[in-house]
Structure 1
């Protein structure tokens, strides 16, 4: 588990980098706060101050990589050093796919990535909800998920997000330890037809895992469910956030209709396992 001092150092470094570069880093704070595996985080300290950081995030058999370096400490090889260390952990843990995550407008990230053996894979928009009138659901209900919903949730994750069933089950188990996360099942006529997760942190509510069964799409169920969740989180005063692939036109249009606006774009780059340093 990361210490309070480490988390504070990561947060301070993130703020410095975001302000300097006018970007928004995706550091998956819901995972950092619940870290159980200390081997997934890599640090460079200078006089007890964090100046460079790299994190690994496991999603089933896929691992995502994200990091940052204090602006005045860049071009000193710190991030490359951390990446060399991280490669050993990736190989030891047997991940099958490696994705680098970098803000789309970060010039320093683009420059570093250009010197690596990786290829562009896809992008996501980070979106924030803005004030807009929302409707109450008419023919659906949402309830908190229970362990009995595991089969439904994992099967829907596999279908909606192109995961193997094994990866979906692994990710489901991983998320159970997140005390601040609520999982909702969307029901129509008493039958589960979708799901959505909400990670409620002190200043933000992050929505994820939103999916509806393929045969139930296009009927307004997803729009009603999303509006219900946003109304619940609106009362907290939190910024309500989510991520969506830039090529997912249907989801983008839905989110925009409800009031979400695009913020930072996150680019993902695929790193072939064969090129990792053994």
Structure 2
């Protein structure tokens, strides 16, 4: 598990890097704060006691995402390559089928690094923020906490049907989310049956929506829009800005989010190693 001092060092380095480049870095701070300590996932480089390089690994089933940063004054010294090699040596010990390297779309330094390793562009992802829009509170769609074993099993099947997880991957991932208890997990109900699921993470004064899924056979009925509106309303009433992420190739989800008042403000590129 990361210490509070390490977390503060990471956040401090992130601020320095973001100020230099003028765009946001995606470091999944909510996941950093809930590391379980079962495997080595974070890699550090210090110069004279000062953190100047960091790389984090983030597991989703049998997929690993990697992202990192180096202090502007210490670039072109091989620091990120060293961190990447250390991370790859660790990842190869695990049963991982896919490694995705995450880079902010505008980052030229990331693109230069990626040219030197065997990887191919996989997908772009947009970060979106709710700006304004009509929030429907339709009583026909219910959002309730996920509490029972039946709810857990429904979440597993929705992960498989909507996100391409194997059942084993979905079970492992959702069990870890349940154990960490760092996100609020909700079931979406319509016409008395489970129709979907959604997770909400409240951290650093922001609300982030993850794992939003509606069963394929119930899509196109307005359930997703109504459920999303309810969650946004719930979070904005707490005074929290609401964010989410969506892959650029998921045109249906992108249109849904835009119709609910979300606007893209940043993008990340993912490369398959």
Q: Same fold (TM over 0.5)?
A: yes
SS in structure 1 of the partner of residue 92 of structure 2: helix
2:255 paired residue number:
253
Aligned position for 1:30: 30
C-alpha displacement of 1:195: 0.7
CA distance in 1, matches of 2:52, 2:227: 42
Report matched runs for 1:83-122 at 5 Å.
83-122=84-123
Report how far residue 239 of structure 1 moved. 2.3
- Which residue of structure 1 lines up, in the alignment, with residue 13 of structure 2? 13
Give unpaired runs (5+ residues) of structure 2: none
Q: Which residue number in structure 2 is paired with residue 236 of structure 1?
A: 238
Q: What SS does the aligned partner of 2:143 have?
A: strand
What's the C-alpha RMSD, in Å, of the aligned pairs? 1.1
- 2:209 pairs with 1:207: yes
SS of residue matched to 2:40: helix
Q: Compute the displacement of 1:250 (Å).
A: 1.0
Q: Tell me the residue number matched to 1:54.
A: 55
Do the aligned residues in 1 keep the contact of 2:102 with 2:268 (CA within 8 Å)? yes
Give the distance between the partners of 2:181 and 2:49, measured in 1 at CA.
Answer: 31
Say how many residue pairs are matched.
Answer: 271
Indicate if the aligned counterparts of 2:55 and 2:83 stay in contact, CA closer than 8 A.
Answer: yes
Give how far 1:93 is off: 1.7
Give the alignment of 1:150-161 within 5 angstroms.
150-161=152-163
Secondary structure at the aligned position of 1:142 is classed as strand
User: C-alpha distance in 2, partners of 1:28/1:159?
Assistant: 25
Alignment of 1:260-275 (within 5 A): 260-271=262-273
**Contact 1:56/1:64, CA 8 A, preserved across alignment:** yes
Helix, strand or coil at the partner of 1:18: helix
Distance 2:87 2:22 in 1: 27
The whole-number CA distance in structure 2 between the counterparts of 1:48 and 1:190 is 58
Contact kept, 8 Å, 1:63 with 1:98, in 2: the verdict is yes
How far does residue 132 in structure 1 lie from its aligned partner after superposition?
A: 2.7
Structure 1: runs of 5+ lacking an equivalent:
272-278
**CA distance in 2: counterparts of 1:36 and 1:9, whole angstroms:** 19
* Deviation at residue 134 of structure 1 after TM alignment: 1.2
Q: Is the 8 A contact 1:181 1:199 kept in 2?
A: yes
1:142 is matched with 143
TM-score (normalised: structure 2) = 0.96
Matches within 5 A, 1:68-79: 68-79=69-80
Q: Distance in 2 between matches of 1:4 and 1:32?
A: 10
